[in-house]
Structure 1
Amino acid sequence: MSSTRTNAEVAEVFEDIADILERQGENPFKVKAYRNAVRTLEDLNEPVADIAARGTLRKLPGFGEAIAGKTQEILETGTCELYERLKAEQAARAPVEDEEEELSSGGATDEADIPSPW
C-alpha cells in the first residue's frame, strides 16, 4: 500500500468521530470503541498502513469490522464517510446552537431590547 497517512492522522479522525458522537449523546460504548482505536493506533510500533497492506487490521486490539473498514477508508482517502457525515451534521446544527446561545444569553430577545407598545 502506498498510503502516506500516518497513525496519528488516522487516530485524529477517530478522536474527532468520538468527540462528535459523544456531544450527540451517542451510545457510550460506540464512543469508547473509537477512543480505544485511538489508543491502539498511538501504541503501534509500525505504520497502520503496513498492517492494512497485510490484511491484518482486525487482529489489532479493538479493531472490529467497522473500525478496520474505516481505517482502510481513511488510509486510502484521508477521511471516511461517517466522519464527513458527522461533520456535516455538526455544521448544520451549529447555526441553531448559536441562536440558542444568543437567546439564552439575553441576545436580541432581552426585554430591554423590545420596544414598549405604549
Structure 2
Amino acid sequence: MKFKLIVGFSYLGSVVLIGAALFSTPYMLQSLHGETVESPVEMIASYLMFAFFCGLPWLLIYKLPENKNICKIFFSVTSVLLAALFYKPIANGQDFSIGLNIIFYAISIAILFPISKAIK
C-alpha cells in the first residue's frame, strides 16, 4: 500500500512542479491576472486535462503487482527528478521552448514507463 502512495505522491509532485514552471511564465501570469483572451479558469482547466491524460504511465505503474515495488519506486523517484530537471527550461523558456520542453517531459515519462516496468 505504501508503494502505491509513493506513486500517487510522485504524480502529484510532478504535476505541481511542471504546473508551477508553466504558470510562472510571463504569459501565464498575465492570463492568471485576466489580462489575456483566455480566462484563468480556461488555462487551469486545460492544464488539468493535460495532466490527467499524461498521467497514464502513473496509473499503469500504480496497477503493477506487489512484487514490482522496485519498479514503482524507480519510476516515482525518476519522474519527480525529471520534473525538477525540466522546471527551469520551462519557467525560463520563450514561447516555443516552453511547450517544447513540456512535450519533451511527457515523452521522457512515456519512455521511462517501459524502462521502469522492465526492472526485475
Higher relative contact order (CA 8 A, sep 6+): 2
Same fold (TM over 0.5): no
Structure with higher Rg: it is: 1
TM-score in terms of structure 2 length: 0.31
TM-score in terms of structure 1 length: 0.32
